[in-house]
């Protein structure tokens, strides 16, 4: 009976330790980047830092997840047809994108996220009805940006990729942003275009996932078993009283 109860105890101990061993997370963010209170316009670049994962006895970093959300506001993209014989449809787009990169590992794969928040619209344009180009009338079409958002995420789990995130200092991330425009047309000759750049902001979230090391769990389980057996050896097999 003693060996059975001991096995039950050890099984319960291991189950309890397994529950403790489930992955846990440390999250930094979401952190807003809005050019010191104003929205970004045009190209932008910079860096920011996140504390590294302080590895210690019994815990191991298993993944890093980077999530980036970019939001675009306002701006305009206009098209004016310059042809006297061609008419048709035109599709215009306007928005912004932001790329965020984690530290570059030696021999590993760099964490990179690049969401783009864009709006598109399609309209018809007539043959050229006005000269010079004025971006008004039936030979012109435009799109005005209101609000667009895009969220993307990427993660890394390989040991080489995680190396730059482990330590007692900071992991440095780089970001670069810009406005974007796009246009497609069924017209033969190209038309004139006018672009007023939108403004944008973005947020980042960095999440570390970690677990205890299996070796540590084994040691904890063995320690619990030894402690249990030592206690039983001090008990009288008949009375259960302590020996002195």
Report d(CA 142, CA 194) in Å as an integer.
Answer: 9
Candidate from 31-45, 162-176, 186-200, 201-215 with smallest mean pLDDT: 186-200
Q: What was the pLDDT predicted at 214? A: 54
- Report the sign of the C-alpha dihedral through residues 15, 21, 22, 24, in that order: positive
Exposure on the CB side of residue 98, measured as CA atoms within 13 A: 32
**pLDDT, position 188:** 61
Q: What does the pLDDT average to over 229-244?
A: 35
178: number of Cβ within 10 Å: 16
What is the average pLDDT value for the chain, to the nearest integer?
A: 81
More confident: 88 or 18: 88
pLDDT at 178 over 50: yes
- The pLDDT of residue 128 is above 60: yes
- How many Å apart are CA 90 and CA 77, to the nearest integer? 12
Q: What is the pLDDT of residue 164?
A: 97
Name the residue with higher pLDDT: 227 or 57.
Answer: 57
pLDDT, mean of residues 98-110? 96
Mention every residue, 6+ apart, whose C-beta is less than 8 A from residue 42. 178, 179, 197
SS3 159: helix
Can you list the positions of beta strands (E) in the chain?
24-33, 40-41, 44-51, 59-73, 76-80, 88-101, 112-113, 116-125, 140-144, 147-156, 170-185, 192-196, 199-212
Q: Which pLDDT value is given to residue 32? A: 97
| E strand or H helix that includes residue 20 | helix 2-20
Q: Which of 10-24, 103-117, 138-152, 199-213 has the lowest mean pLDDT?
A: 10-24
d(C-alpha 182, C-alpha 89), whole Å: 14
Q: Is the pLDDT of residue 129 over 80?
A: yes
**240 band by pLDDT with thresholds 50, 70 and 90:** very low
Predicted local confidence at residue 57, as pLDDT: 85
Q: What six digits make up the tokens of 55?
A: 């590895």
Q: Is the pLDDT of residue 126 over 80?
A: yes
**Euclidean distance between CA atoms 29 and 172, whole angstroms:** 15
pLDDT for res 229: 42
State the pTM of this model: 0.75
**Spatial CB neighbours of 99, under 8 Å, sequence gap ≥ 6:** 112, 113, 114, 175, 176, 177
Residue ranges per domain, the chain? 24-210
Query: pLDDT: is 116 or 235 the higher one?
Result: 116
Q: pLDDT band for position 130 (50/70/90)?
A: confident
What confidence score (pLDDT) does residue 21 get?
53
């Amino acid at each position: 009976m003693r060996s059975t109860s001991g096995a039950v105890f050890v099984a319960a101990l291991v189950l309890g330790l397994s529950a403790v061993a489930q992955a846990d997370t440390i999250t930094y963010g979401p952190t807003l980047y809005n050019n010191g209170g104003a929205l970004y316009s045009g190209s932008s670049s910079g860096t920011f830092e996140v504390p590294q994962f302080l590895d210690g006895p019994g815990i191991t970093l298993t993944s890093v997840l980077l999530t980036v959300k970019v939001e675009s506001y306002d701006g305009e993209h206009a098209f004016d047809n310059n042809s006297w014989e061609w008419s048709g449809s035109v599709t215009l787009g306007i928005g912004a994108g932001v790329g965020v990169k984690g530290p570059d590992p030696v021999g590993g794969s760099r964490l990179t996220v690049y969401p783009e928040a864009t709006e598109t619209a399609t309209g018809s344009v007539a043959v050229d009805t006005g000269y010079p180009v004025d971006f008004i009338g039936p030979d012109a079409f435009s799109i005005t940006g209101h609000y667009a958002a895009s969220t993307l995420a990427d993660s890394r789990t390989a040991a080489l990729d995680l190396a730059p995130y482990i330590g007692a200092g900071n992991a440095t991330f780089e970001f670069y942003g810009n406005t974007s425009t796009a246009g497609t047309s069924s017209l033969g000759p190209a038309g004139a275009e006018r672009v007023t750049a939108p403004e944008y902001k973005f947020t980042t979230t960095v999440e570390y996932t970690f677990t205890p090391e299996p070796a540590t769990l084994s040691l904890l389980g063995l320690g619990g078993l030894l402690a249990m057996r030592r206690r039983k050896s001090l008990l009288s097999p008949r009375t259960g009283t302590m020996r002195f």
